[in-house]
Amino acid sequence: MWRLDATLARLQYWDERVCVRMNRGARQRPVVLVLQAVSWLGNGIFWYALMLALLIADPAGAALPVLHMGFAGAVCTCCYKMVKHTTVRHRPFEVNPLVSAGAAVLDRFSFPSGHTLHAVGFTMIALAYFPALWVLLVPFTVLTAVSRVALGLHYPSDVLAGAALGAAIASASFAFA
């Protein structure tokens, strides 16, 4: 049992150090504004706009991918809410005085990152149907993940867990597509 405790303590130490460093590095106004914009778009706006743009560009060809993304998005939302309300991990800016919140939060708890979960899930599904979109979606997904830590809203492990859960849900969703 002490090995698990020691491992968790090391993970928490690493999480806090990386979070503090990224948060400090993102305090210049231009950087904060870009990260806030990405985070705000990651609230769902970017993904809804993408789905709408796909439907406008190719109504017949985009119908199935958009339905697939919508279904997976609903599953992602249910899963992350369940996990958040089970783990009840507080956000970095709430527990560490060296971390300042760079944006408003949508819910109370930190683990896992819902923004990252949805970004990875939507990106995987969209790229399966429209591989050429990688130029837009992969950088946006990476920036979304980075923004969550740099803005002091999540620990790196929250982002990694969100990415893993989003990837798992997207992968599993192909069995139903």
> CA–CA separation, 2 vs 9, rounded Å?
10
Give the residue carrying structure tokens 């560490």.
Answer: 96
Whole-number pLDDT of residue 106: 84
In 3D space, the residue among 58, 55, 70, 45 whose CA is nearest the CA of residue 140 turns out to be 45
Give the residue carrying structure tokens 């997904």.
Answer: 141
pLDDT beneath 70, residues of the chain = 1, 177
Whole-number pLDDT of residue 135: 97
pTM, two decimal places: 0.91
**Are the C-beta atoms of residues 110 and 154 closer than 8 Å to each other?**
yes
Q: Which residues contact 18 (CB under 8 A, 6 or more apart)?
A: 149, 155, 156
Type of residue numbered 80: Y
**Are the C-beta atoms of residues 76 and 117 closer than 8 Å to each other?**
yes
Which domains occur in the chain, in start order? 2-173 (1.20.144.10)
> CA–CA separation, 145 vs 49, rounded Å?
19
Whole-number pLDDT of residue 1: 63
